[in-house]
Amino acid sequence: MRCRFGRFTIDPDTRQLLCDGAEIHLSPKAFDVLWALIQRRPAVIEKTELHAQIWPDTHVVDANLNVLIGEIRRAIGDTPQKAEFVRTVHGVGYAFCGAAVNVQEAAGAPRALLCWVVWKGRTFPLSEGDNVIGRDPGCSVWLDAPGVSRRHARIRIDSSNRRVALDDLGSTNGTLVRRSRIQGDVILNDGDPITIGTVDLIIRLWSADKVPETKRIRRKR
């Protein structure tokens, strides 16, 4: 079962850590530590238990575990001083302290929608659930441009209901879809233009369950 936290998705089956759909490298043991912490969240796992799980039948010092925790924090942008996901419990161990949601695909369920936004030829992949757009570097879609609020708008992807919706997060300059300022949730369709401050985006949607048929064009003789 995959698990999503913030901009990240971790998949123990494929042993991948993804950030907005892009893979982030983690060493095998660092991956094991992160997955162990996520599975036991929000409980604290003692260092001795992590040692036994990651290095069975091998004696290691705490420095080895510290190195793995440091690798994990660099990968997910965490710090000991401002722990958003991995918390140090001094003298005891570590705990996963961030909000995380298990993501499980039921048998026969429709495939996930593939969604992304395009800005000046650059693509931003969107993930299942909430994708915040704004000037804050921590946003799923980071737009460092005039008129964009720190947390400007949100695109919510709900593959189970085949629904992609956009809402404004109380931004200063508002959000436009199809050149009209939105109020509340607005359903998005493939190719819809979105204006965030001074930035013009295009939303692209694709589903493997509904591949458009190729139209035949008859040439005039």
Distance CA 202, CA 166 (A): 13
pLDDT at 158 (0 to 100): 83
Instruction: Name the strand (E) or helix (H) holding 70.
Output: helix 62-76
Query: How large is the average pLDDT for residues 168-193?
Result: 94
Binned at pLDDT 50, 70 and 90, residue 207 comes out as low
Per the model's pLDDT, the better-predicted residue between 108 and 202 turns out to be 202
Contact (Cβ atoms closer than 8 angstroms) between residue 128 and residue 11: no
Give the Cα separation of 23 and 28 in Å (integer). Answer: 14
Does the pTM exceed 0.75?
no
pLDDT at residue 111, rounded to an integer: 55
- Closest residue by Cα to residue 133 from 64, 197, 190, 81: 197
**What's the burial of 87, exposed, middle or buried (CB within 10 Å: 0-12/13-18/19+)?**
middle
Q: Read off the tokens for 5.
A: 């936290």
